[in-house]
């Protein structure tokens, strides 16, 4: 990569990092706002059409303006990019398209200078088929030490021509690949290897001592560089039943891509928890040696509607936090939303792990699109399956208003809040990317049956200028971005609008929320409770703060038991206007919650 052209980003007046433990005894990650940067699509500093670390470094002011405490970088290790970094070829270096270790060090130093910690994304379940260990395994004989790091097994059938068991891959087809079928391999090699996602992502065997050491070393390597924690990818399938038995039958209507996640021999196994205890031990020992640091790890355990699973992952000797996905997957009705809140709010009392709220990430349709359908949330939006998504138009006006209400509501809750780049701009999913542009392995391995996740990964629009790929690139006529931006993309640019409409309204909301959160929400306790609020409303009390979400499209009055005489409104996701004049007013009746919006009330 060329040398950086971005200006130095360290501000003249650096913001100190929050102390590892605040005056209230709270650890920094317990109520952090974390911004997820999909580096490839964030900002390109060289004009080659691919986002990079220098692009990210040049935009730290933008990230800091959202009140962010930490930045989570999607994997930025060297990788053939068959799953855009979730196929790691070297856990100890930086992907050349994104920069160098020096560029990483500069980013980390400048982020810390902005008061922002850095979380890396680590991928334990599998590596890339280009990883030297996997290449060595292919070149080695069955039964060798090299193969013992992965799941190589003899095939079944007379000549080993059938896979060792019936396990399916999460991205389509069998989870097994026959070694003898690979280009250049010995055609008589009767072994197969396991890849829970794609054949390019061979699964590690974490009972193997080399594998255990590799990850202990990787954690320490990045901690020594100053990293503050890890988002741990795809923890569900990391442990396997040692005998790899056939998966029991699943209900006949189970979608092919969901079969893996029903497999009791590879999903949420006790063997997986052994791995996390070892990792936690590495982290705790590191912290003992570096008492000024408080590194953490957060689990990506896709345990939707399985709160007990989240409890297990957040036991005191495992993860510090696990993502709370139920709210992201919740239909837009009060019963479902309350259900999604109840367990995470109770969890803290039992495990000390505050929730890690998520409304968006790089794997799911963007929220304004999801909530723009009346059915609102459908797990099929993970793969953008055109057959499974409801056949109804997306109303982005409705979706945007609901998204505003939901982020304002969740910002008041105890716990951490993970934001995904572009949600602060109100970006919708790009649903109509041309097939030839799509790169997600889900699209490729299902031969286009599932559109996959490219639509939420389109490079960000920073300006309204199409000549610079909407500011994604540093100069006019850059190489086209790695995924095409639609021609209407500039409407969502950070600097969109002119005159009285200047500025991106979603961005303005996120910035207002940053201020309101630190003023009214984070000073409150980490305990909170759902309140009875009235039809169409969801309300949570946290100390002296009450957040109320109105999911309906009409004014709703709060239950009188929730409103104390002294209560005042301190935040509203929508400007409250006078019915007659349309003017903004700040003295409206606090117990009336405007349509599809959130208000924060304080005693
Ligand atoms: C990541 C995905 C990735 C998969 C395989 C996840 O859950 O978030 O983006 O494709 O793991 O590593």
Check pocket membership of 234 for ligand 1, CB cut-off 6 A: yes
Inter-CA distances, 483 with 45, 432, 433, 486, Å: 16, 12, 8, 10
What is the C-alpha separation between 75 and 362, in angstroms, rounded? 12
Nearest to 198 by CA among 158, 169, 224, 231: 169
> Residue for token digits 């997986």?
272
Contacts of 221 by beta carbon, 8 Å cutoff, 6+ apart = 91, 92
How many angstroms is it from 405 CA to the middle of ligand 1? Answer: 28
Distance 300 CA to ligand 1 centre (A): 9
Atom of ligand 1 nearest to the CA of 126: 12
> What's the Cα-to-Cα distance from 38 to each of 89, 157, 300, 457, rounded to whole Å?
18, 44, 16, 8
Task: Give the separation between CA 343 and CA 211, rounded to whole angstroms.
Answer: 34
Which pLDDT value is given to residue 1?
A: 36
Q: Which residue's CA is minimally distant from atom 2 of ligand 1?
A: 363
CB-ligand 1 contact for 283 (6 Å cutoff): no
What are the CA-CA distances from residue 438 to residues 255, 432, 451 (Å)? 22, 10, 8
The per-residue pLDDT for 526 is 95
Question: What backbone phi and psi angles, to 5 degrees, belong to 109?
Answer: -65, -45
Closest ligand 1 atom, CA of 300?
A: 7
**Cα R_g (the chain), whole angstroms:** 24
Q: Is the shortest distance between the CB of 193 and ligand 1 below 6 Å?
A: no
Taking the C-alpha atoms of residue 183 and residue 178, their distance in angstroms, rounded to an integer, is: 11
Distance CA 4, CA 22 (A): 36
Place of tokens 């706002």: 33
Q: What is the crossing angle of helices 505-516 and 396-411, to 10°?
A: 10
Q: What are phi and psi of 11, to 5 degrees?
A: -70, 155
- Smallest CA separation from ligand 1 atom 3, residue: 86
Question: Residue 91, CB half-sphere, CA atoms under 13 Å: how many?
Answer: 21
Write out the two tokens for 121. Answer: 């994304």
Best residue among 119, 195, 233, 237 to mutate for probing ligand 1, ranked by most atoms within 8 Å of CB: 233
The C-alpha atoms of residue 196 and residue 536 are separated, in whole angstroms, by 42
Q: Compute the distance from residue 236 Cα to the ligand 1 centre, in Å.
A: 11
Q: Give me 116's structure tokens.
A: 């922002």
Ligand 1 contacts CB of residue 94 (under 6 A): no
Spot the catalytic one: 83, 97, 233, 440. 233
Q: Which is the catalytic residue, given 300, 363, 423, 440?
A: 300
Structure-token pair, residue 432: 């109509």
Spatial distance between the Cα atoms of 538 and 64, rounded to a whole number of angstroms:
30
Per DSSP, what are the bridge partners of residue 230? Answer: 120, 297
- Measured from the CB, is residue 303 less than 6 Å from ligand 1? no
pLDDT of amino acid 10: 62
Over the chain (603 residues), the average pLDDT of each successive run of 10 is 46 86 93 98 97 98 98 98 98 98 98 98 98 98 98 95 97 95 94 98 98 98 98 98 98 90 97 98 98 97 91 96 94 94 91 94 94 72 73 90 98 98 97 95 92 96 96 90 97 86 92 97 96 94 96 92 80 82 70 95 92
Which atom of ligand 1 lies nearest, measured to the CA of 123?
Answer: 12
Of the candidates 53, 40, 60, 41, the residue with the CA atom closest to the CA atom of residue 100: 53
Nearest ligand 1 atom to the CA of 441 is 10
* Ligand 1 centre distance from Cα of residue 440 (Å): 11
User: What's the 237 CA to ligand 1 centre distance in angstroms?
Assistant: 11
Residue 197, ligand 1, Cβ within 6 A: yes
Active site residue 217: no
Q: Which residues does residue 73 pair with via DSSP β-bridges, in sequence order?
A: 37
User: Which of 15, 26, 34 is closest to 230 using CA atoms?
Assistant: 34
Contact 333, 327 (CB under 8 A): no
Distance from the CA of 365 to the center of ligand 1, in angstroms?
Answer: 14
Atom 7 of ligand 1, nearest CA residue: 234
Ligand 1 centroid – CA 430 distance (Å): 20
Ligand 1 centroid to residue 498 C-alpha, Å: 39
Report the C-alpha gap between 339 and 364 in whole angstroms.
21
Closest CA to 338 of 547, 151, 37: 547
> Residue 204 region, left (φ>0) first, then alpha (ψ -120 to 50), else beta?
beta
Secondary element (H or E) of residue 600:
strand 597-602
As a whole number of angstroms, the distance between CA 355 and CA 30 comes to: 8
Host H or E run for residue 531: strand 529-531
Q: Are 270 and 313 in contact (CB under 8 A)?
A: no
* DSSP assignment of 185-237: S-TT--EEEE-SS-TTSPBB-TTSHHHHHHHHHHHHHHHHTT--EEEEP--TT
Probe residue for ligand 1, chosen from 41, 128, 197 as the CB with the greatest number of ligand atoms within 8 Å: 197
- Give the model's pLDDT for residue 393: 86
User: Which residues 6+ apart lie within 8 Å of 549 measured at CB?
Assistant: 337, 405, 406, 409, 537, 538, 539, 593, 597, 598
CA dihedral defined by 267, 272, 276, 281, rounded to 10 degrees? Answer: 170
Q: Is the CB of 87 under 6 A from ligand 1?
A: no
Q: Decide whether any atom of ligand 1 lies within 6 Å of the 358 Cβ.
A: no
Instruction: Give the C-alpha separation, 99 to 183, whole Å.
Output: 31
* 300: annotated active-site residue: yes
Helices (H), 290-391: 307-313, 334-351, 367-370
- Pick left, alpha or beta for residue 361 (phi over 0 → left; psi -120 to 50 → alpha; otherwise beta): beta
DSSP 8-class letter at 524: S
Instruction: Tell which residue, 72, 122, 77, 109, has the closest CA to residue 96.
Output: 77
User: At which residue do the structure tokens 């349709």 appear?
Assistant: 365
3-class SS at 500?
helix
What atom of ligand 1 comes closest to residue 302's alpha carbon?
A: 7
Q: What is the dihedral of CA 289, 26, 515, 508, to 10 degrees?
A: 70
Ligand 1 centroid vs 86 CA: distance in angstroms? 6
> CB of 363 closer than 6 A to ligand 1?
yes
Q: Please give the Cα distance from 481 to 461 (Å, whole number).
A: 11
Ligand 1 in contact with 123 (CB < 6 A)?
A: yes
């Amino acid at each position: 990569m060329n040398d950086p052209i971005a200006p130095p980003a360290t501000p003249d007046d650096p913001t100190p990092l929050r102390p590892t433990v605040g005056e209230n005894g709270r650890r920094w990650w317990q109520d952090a706002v974390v911004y997820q940067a999909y580096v490839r699509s964030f900002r390109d500093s060289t004009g080659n059409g691919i986002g990079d670390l220098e692009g990210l470094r040049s935009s730290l002011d933008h990230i800091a303006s959202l009140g962010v405490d930490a930045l989570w970088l999607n994997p930025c290790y060297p990788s053939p990019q068959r799953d855009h970094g979730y196929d790691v070829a070297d856990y100890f270096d930086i992907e050349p398209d994104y920069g160098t270790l020096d560029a990483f060090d500069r980013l980390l130093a400048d982020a810390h200078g902005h008061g922002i910690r850095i979380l890396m994304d680590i991928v334990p379940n599998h590596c890339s088929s280009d990883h030297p260990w996997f290449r060595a395994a292919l070149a080695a004989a069955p039964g060798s030490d090299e193969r013992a790091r992965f799941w190589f097994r003899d095939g079944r059938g007379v000549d080993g021509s059938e896979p060792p068991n019936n396990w399916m891959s999460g991205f389509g087809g069998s989870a097994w690949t026959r070694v003898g079928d690979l280009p250049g391999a010995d055609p008589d090699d009767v072994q197969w290897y396991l890849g829970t996602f794609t054949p390019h992502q061979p699964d590690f065997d974490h009972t193997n001592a080399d594998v255990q050491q590799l990850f202990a070393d990787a954690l320490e390597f990045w901690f020594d560089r100053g990293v503050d924690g890890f988002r741990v990818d795809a923890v569900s399938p990391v442990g396997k039943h040692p005998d790899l038995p056939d998966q029991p039958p699943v209900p006949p209507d189970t979608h092919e891509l969901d079969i893996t996640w029903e497999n009791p021999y590879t999903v949420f196994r006790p063997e997986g928890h052994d791995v996390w205890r070892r990792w936690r031990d590495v982290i705790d020992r590191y912290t003992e040696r570096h008492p000024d640091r408080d590194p953490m790890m957060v689990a990506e355990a896709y345990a939707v509607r399985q709160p007990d699973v989240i409890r297990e992952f957040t036991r005191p000797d495992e993860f510090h936090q696990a993502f709370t996905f139920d709210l992201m997957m919740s239909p837009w009705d009060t019963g479902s939303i309350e259900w999604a809140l109840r367990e995470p709010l109770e969890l803290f009392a039992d495990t000390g792990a505050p929730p890690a709220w998520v409304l968006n990430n790089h794997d799911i349709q963007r929220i304004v699109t999801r909530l723009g359908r009346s059915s609102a949330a459908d797990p099929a939006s993970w793969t953008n399956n055109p057959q499974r998504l409801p056949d109804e138009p997306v109303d982005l006006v409705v979706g945007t208003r609901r998204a505003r209400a939901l982020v304002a509501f969740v910002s008041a809750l105890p716990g951490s809040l993970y934001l995904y780049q572009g949600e602060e701009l109100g970006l919708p999913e790009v649903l109509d990317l041309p097939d030839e542009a799509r790169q997600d392995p889900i699209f490729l391995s299902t031969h286009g049956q599932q559109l996959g996740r490219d639509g939420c990964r389109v490079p960000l629009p920073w300006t309204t200028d199409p000549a610079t790929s909407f500011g994604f690139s540093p100069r006019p006529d850059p190489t086209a971005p790695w995924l095409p931006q639609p021609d209407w993309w500039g409407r969502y640019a950070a600097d969109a609008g002119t005159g009285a409409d200047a500025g991106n309204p979603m961005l303005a909301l996120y910035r207002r929320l940053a201020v309101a959160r630190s003023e009214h929400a984070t000073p409150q306790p980490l305990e909170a409770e759902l309140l009875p609020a009235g039809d169409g409303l969801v309300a949570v009390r946290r100390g002296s703060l009450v957040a109320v979400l109105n999911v309906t499209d009409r004014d709703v009055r709060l239950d009188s038991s929730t409103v104390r005489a002294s209560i005042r409104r301190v935040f509203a996701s929508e400007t409250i206007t006078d019915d007659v004049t349309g003017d903004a007013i700040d003295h409206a009746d606090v117990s009336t919650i405007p349509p599809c919006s959130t208000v924060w009330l304080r005693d």
